[in-house]
Every structure is written in structure tokens, then in C-alpha cells.
Structure 1
Amino acid sequence: MMYDQNRAQQPADQPRGVAGRRDPGPAPLFPSAERDKIAQRLGRALNTFPDTPLQSLEEAEGAFDEATAQLMAVLAEQRRTLRAGWQDHDPETQSAELHLALRQYREVTQRLLRL
């Protein structure tokens, strides 16, 4: 493999790939504001541990509970959306829609397995 000097000089956040495009990847499961809020809560728990260990653990547990509750809500909504997309279709006439639904289930499940 040859060293690509031009690519090495590009900033890390500059788009790459075909025609300068970067694949966006899957969207985050949580909105960024919610992720930030939970991360701040967890960070606060970590930072205050030396002074108040029990309260820090309770704060960390609360952050965990909030994250899992939001994850369950997001997954329930995705399940409803996916199911609504294929449940009432005739399998013989709507195979393209069914195939799309199958791909969406695969993508969501693979994202879950990578958690």
C-alpha cells in the first residue's frame, strides 16, 4: 500500500470516498440533545464520586435508567413504524416493499447487536 500524501494532509473531518462523499452511516438512536443530557449526568456522577460516592452511584444509575428507557421508547416506535410498512400488504403483489422492510429490520437488529 502506498502512502497518500494528499489524503494524509486532509483534516480528519473532511469528506472521503467516492466523489468526496462520506457515508453518513446509521442515524443515532437518541437525539443529540438527549445523548448530551445523559452524558452530562454520567460525567457529573464520575466527577463527584470522590466526595459523594453513594450519591454518585445513584446518579449513574439514574443516567443508566434514563438511557435504557429512552432506548426502549425509540425501539418500540421503530418496531411500530416497520410493522406498519408491511403488515397489511399482499405478499404476492408487494414483494419490493416487503424486501425493503426486511432490510430495515436487518439494519436495526445489526445496530442493536453492535451496542
Structure 2
Amino acid sequence: MADGTALFPIDARDKLALRLQNAVNGFVDGPRAAVENADRVLEEAITDLTRTLTERRRALRTTWQPHSAEPTPGEPTATEATPPAPPPTGDTEQLRLALQDYRETAERLLRL
């Protein structure tokens, strides 16, 4: 992405990879526990990725929409968090940059 935001922060990715490797290594001694641990790792990875993508989309929307959509559950309301002021709706350059960020984010997601 243009601002360098990772879909998966390196430290979080490394921790999950280590936990997954530990689950695989523990299979011989405890097959069921190993699979249960792997299941938890995958669940956390999906949750973290979903949260990251939701936050990224919300940030992208503030760059081009005069009023963002209603907050999702758990998202701060306008009185709790003040997003950056959006540019005028007719700013073609800002829209071009927003489209570029959307494209880069979607392409990274599709490469997973």
C-alpha cells in the first residue's frame, strides 16, 4: 500500500507462524492438541486480517467520501474519534490517489 501499511504486521505474523510451527511439532506427542492449536492460530489470523482490512477500508473511505458510512459495531462514533477532514468531492487528484490505494490493497489481498 502506498503508506506502507502491512496487511499483516511482521511481529504478529511471526508470532502466529511460531505458534503454528509449535502445533505441527507437537503432533506426535498430542495429535488432537496440535490440531486444536492450529485451529486457534488460523482463527486468530483470520480475525486479525479482517480487522486490518476493515480499518484500512475505513481509512481509505475518509480520503474521498465527505461523510463516511455509519460506524460498524465497536467502531468509535464521530464524537468519540474525529477523522481527518475529507478533501472536496471534486478533487480528481485525491480521487486518483484513493483509487490507487484501493487497487494496491485489493491486489495484495488477491495475492494471498
Q: TM-score scaled by structure 1?
A: 0.72
Q: Could you tell me how far 1:114 is from its partner in structure 2?
A: 0.3
For 2:29, what is the secondary structure of its paired residue? coil
Q: TM-score scaled by structure 2?
A: 0.74
> Looking at CA atoms only, which structure, 1 or 2, has the larger radius of gyration?
1
For 1:86, what is the secondary structure of its paired residue? coil
Distance, in Å, in 1 between the alignment partners of 2:104 and 2:97 is 11
Task: Determine which of 100, 104, 108 is the counterpart of 1:103.
Answer: 100
Q: Could you say which structure has the greater relative contact order, defined with CA pairs below 8 angstroms and 6 or more residues apart?
A: 2
Q: Does 1:68 align with 2:46?
A: yes
What do residues 41-91 of structure 1 show as CA deviations (whole Å, max 9, x unaligned)? 100110000111100000000000010000011001100100000001444
For 2:63, what is the secondary structure of its paired residue? helix
Higher helix share: 1
Structural mapping, 1:14-53, within 5 Å: 28-53=6-31
Question: Number of aligned pairs?
Answer: 89
Percent identity, aligned pairs only, is 44
Q: Could you tell me how far 1:27 is from its partner in structure 2?
A: 5.1
Query: Who is 1:8 aligned against?
Result: none
Runs of 4+ residues over 6 Å off in structure 1: none
Distance, in Å, in 2 between the alignment partners of 1:32 and 1:82 is 22
Distance, in Å, in 2 between the alignment partners of 1:46 and 1:82 is 38
